[in-house]
A and B are shown apart, each in its own frame.
Chain A
Amino acid sequence: MSKTRRISCLAAAASAIALAAAACGAPEEEGDDRGAVPDDATDCANYEQYGDLEGETISILGSIRDTEADEMMEAWSYFESCTGAVIEYEGSGEFESDMKVRVDGGNAPDIALFPQPGLMSNFADSLVPASEEVTSLATEGWTEDWLNYGTIDGTLYAAPHSSNAKSFIWYSPSFFSDNGYEVPQTWDELIALSDTIAADGITPWCVGFESGGATGWPGTDWIEDIVLREGTDVYDQWVTHQIPFNDPQIVTAIDKAGTILQNPDYVYNGTDTISSTPFQEAGYPILDGNCAMHRQASFYGAMWPADTEVSETGDVFAFRFPESNEGDNTMLVGGEFVAAFDDSESTEMVRQFLASELYHNARLQTGPWSTARQGVDPNNATTPINVFATEILTDPEVTVRFDGSDLMPGEVGASSFWTGMVQWADGDKTSQQMADDIEASWP
């Protein structure tokens, strides 16, 4: 799921720690996380609309690999057996460069699952716009916020696939209730709570930015969360570079993040350990009561140690990143988009299938997953955190914005923004210097 998930897989696999499986979304015990696939999904009558695709082969390229890819293909298998089509899926650890090489070389896959809308728009000339059917499925299935990210120059090209909620703060429900702490609803309450916890002798926050070659990305999510809550307009202008990266509003937002991330009383083990603490393990001290909160996306639910109970009544759970302005209801998200490079009938049918409620309901049950598809039953999700995430993501009242670093050009979003965060967290650069340097790297 999105860049961050893939990075976590890379980082975990590279460091060969026991986490590898968990980081890639593998359920610890397969039986627990898999529900019964709904009868609808296995009933071939529901696939009649896709016609007979016997002998057709559709190639799909994505960044999803390993267990998560197996679970995804399981949800596709009913489509395959009912229509006779064969879907050849290829998961790539180097999705960005593979896509470019394949498209430039005239060897594009029929369908690509893009984790970054910005990357997708680079290929707009080669993409096949969404057909009427796909468009109506997408309009019925996703809110306008989502469709905007699948739209290039006014034309809808891609419907979303998976979605994950990023504006989550992980905490221990029992630790909170034992000490009488309330889940904060606003930024001011969050700071007040942090002060209370600090006064009680516990460091309120656990933070870790280390992620191998992508070190720094967890920091970009912090900044994005805060900018988004200053106002969606500011966020959109910032991400599309209508205002510079070093705009005073952005610098203020970075300073605001600093009130937590650069406060020695707030950060477990001290602020100078942020850039060297691996994000995969950064939240673990919550389990020992050494810190109280850890900001990380919904996929972090799969990264806790094996015997952790992730639920509202268990060891850890998440609450939504609080709003700064009253009445706001925002969520930072990540996800994939289903774009096609081929206009054949079989590809069109797969696109329609991947945008259907039928598929999204089935996929929720083949493994830990969350989606923003309207009409699905969030309770189909296999883990409490995915039920929670899917509830929020499918709520049309929630204003959704995509992870900004995935929308910015690669030079910024996958390079200078990361390094900037590391230098800032290390105290080598002030908020202004960091913003100036990132602005200078914008192509």
Chain B
Amino acid sequence: MNISDLTDRFGLLAVGLVAFVAILLALYGLAELASRRDRSRAVAAVFLAPAVVFLLVGLVYPAVRTFVMSFFSGDGTEFVGLENYSWAVTNPDALQVLVNTAMWIIIVPLLSTAVGLVYAVLIDGRRGERTYKALVFLPMGISFVGASIIWKFVYQYTGSGDQIGLLNQLLVWIGAQPVNWLNESPWNNFLLMVVLIWIEVGFATVVLSAALKGVPTEIVEAARIDGASPSEIFWNVTVPSIRSAIVVVAVTVFIATLKLFDIVRAMTGGHHGTDVLAHNMWDQAFRLGNDGRGATMAVLLFALVIPVVIYQVRNMRRQELEAR
């Protein structure tokens, strides 16, 4: 591509942007001309309109269409009612996907938050706290696919010759037989979870460590004077004080886990019983060409997120009320 091509493209983009701004200004001018009583409403409408249009086109319409598609056959031509949903809860492969997803969303947020919390408490106030924090935070900077490839090397198995995978070489050193880790269902699911936990622990540690700094030292000292043991202080003073931070971390990791696609795609492609909802949704719709089932998986995914979002919104609202 030469420079004139680029100017052609970006020139067009610039014209588009200028036209967009000009139209907005013109509408704004019109709104200003409206009578004083309607003015603020008209101005609000002009400025809200683009956002509303984008939301309708980019979010509401696809969501409604996906929902409708989930009641149609694979090629989208025939209405099949609830057949796709009954497939999702009766077909052994689809059930495996749901079971795997359930394992992921229980184990990953729990372990990430727990490990992050323990780590944050252990390093709190120590010398070199920043270094420890930076070390555990580093994986956060790696993309999911990058992390998956790193771990794939750890689990790598070769049928003959030297093992190049770390885990299998360790086995060879202690005199055991190498294992084809990523093919061993259901244990391979846990090996994949390790990758996400490895990434998310850094996030949990940083947020929870900041929250720990906010726990008033007076309370901790008072508890200590009253004779509370360190574990009692931890469970009855520290944890309740940072409860909202723990919830935020757990919910964030939960949603990230539910949407998980990259790790499964890069490490096993969903084979050997490791498929999860978000990956199977893509697999059904794009690789296997079954739009109906793909849409059904998307709807199930959406249904699983809703309760968490509601909980999170309520939580935030309560906090706002408390803050007032």
Contact = CB atoms under 8 A, between A and B. Distances in A.
A17 interface: yes
Contact of A96 (B152, B164, B286): B286
Contacts of B161: 281
Interface in B270-299: 270-272, 282, 286-290
Contact of B268 (A97, A213, A275, A418): A213
A215 B272 CA distance: 9
Given A15-B156, A273-B159, A276-B159, A100 B286 contact: yes
A419 B288 CA distance: 15
Given A213-B269, A411-B288, A443-B290, A281 B183 contact: no
A410 B268 CA distance: 17
User: Interface residues of A toward B: which range?
Assistant: 35 or more
Q: Is the interface of B mostly helix, strand, loop or mixed?
A: loop
Contacts of B290: 411, 443
A199 B191 CA distance: 43
Contacts of B74: 443
B93 interface: yes
B217 interface: no
Interface string B33-61: 00000000000000000000000000000
A414 interface: yes
B158 interface: yes
A414 B158 contact: no
B315 interface: no
Nearest to B184: A276
Nearest to B265: A213
B28 to A, nearest CB: 35
Interface string A9-28: 00000111100000000000
Q: Is the interface of A mostly helix, strand, loop or mixed?
A: helix
B160 A281 contact: yes
B293 to A, nearest CB: 9
B143 interface: no
Interface residues of B, number: 24
B158 A418 contact: no
B286 A278 contact: no
Nearest to B274: A213
B239 to A, nearest CB: 42
A432 interface: no
A273 B157 CA distance: 12
A366 to B, nearest CB: 27
Contact of A414 (B93, B159, B272, B288): B288
A101 interface: yes
Interface in A181-231: 208, 210, 212-215
Task: Pick the most buried of B180, B271, B290: most chain A CB atoms within 10 A of its CB.
Answer: B271
B93 A441 contact: yes
A101 B161 CA distance: 41
A122 interface: yes
B99 to A, nearest CB: 16
B159 A278 contact: yes
A398 B38 CA distance: 83
Contact of B158 (A17, A96, A273): A17
A415 B94 CA distance: 13
Contacts of A78: none
A284 interface: yes
A15 B158 CA distance: 9
Contacts of B286: 96-97, 100-101
Interface string A93-110: 000110011000000000
A406 to B, nearest CB: 14
Contact of A415 (B159, B282, B288): B288
B87 to A, nearest CB: 10
A430 interface: no
Contacts of B93: 416, 441
Interface in A109-160: 119, 122
A119 B286 CA distance: 12
A82 to B, nearest CB: 24
Nearest to B74: A443
A277 interface: yes
A97 B152 contact: no
Interface in A1-53: 14-17
Task: Pick the most buried of B152, B159, B164, B288: most chain A CB atoms within 10 A of its CB.
Answer: B159
Nearest to A437: B92
B64 to A, nearest CB: 18
A410 B288 contact: yes
B159 A210 contact: yes
A97 B269 contact: no
A394 B308 CA distance: 62
A136 B298 CA distance: 47
Interface in A269-284: 273, 275-278, 281-282, 284
Task: Pick the most buried of B74, B183, B287, B289: most chain A CB atoms within 10 A of its CB.
Answer: B289
A267 to B, nearest CB: 13
A278 B158 contact: yes
Contacts of B287: 96-97, 410, 414
Given A100-B286, A215-B271, A210 B160 contact: no
A278 B180 CA distance: 11
Contacts of A282: 159
Interface string B153-167: 100111111001000
A372 to B, nearest CB: 27
Nearest to B286: A97
Contacts of B268: 213
A215 B159 CA distance: 13
A153 to B, nearest CB: 16
Given A276-B157, A276-B183, A281-B160, A122 B289 contact: yes
Contacts of B269: 212-214
28 contacts: A14-B152, A15-B156, A15-B158, A17-B164, A96-B286, A96-B287, A97-B282, A97-B286, A97-B287, A119-B289, A122-B289, A208-B159, A210-B159, A215-B272, A275-B183, A276-B180, A277-B159, A277-B160, A281-B158, A281-B159, A282-B159, A410-B289, A411-B288, A414-B288, A415-B288, A416-B93, A419-B271, A443-B74
Given A16-B153, A213-B270, A414-B287, 15 more contacts: A17-B158, A17-B164, A96-B287, A210-B180, A212-B269, A275-B183, A276-B180, A277-B160, A281-B159, A282-B159, A285-B160, A410-B287, A411-B288, A422-B183, A441-B93
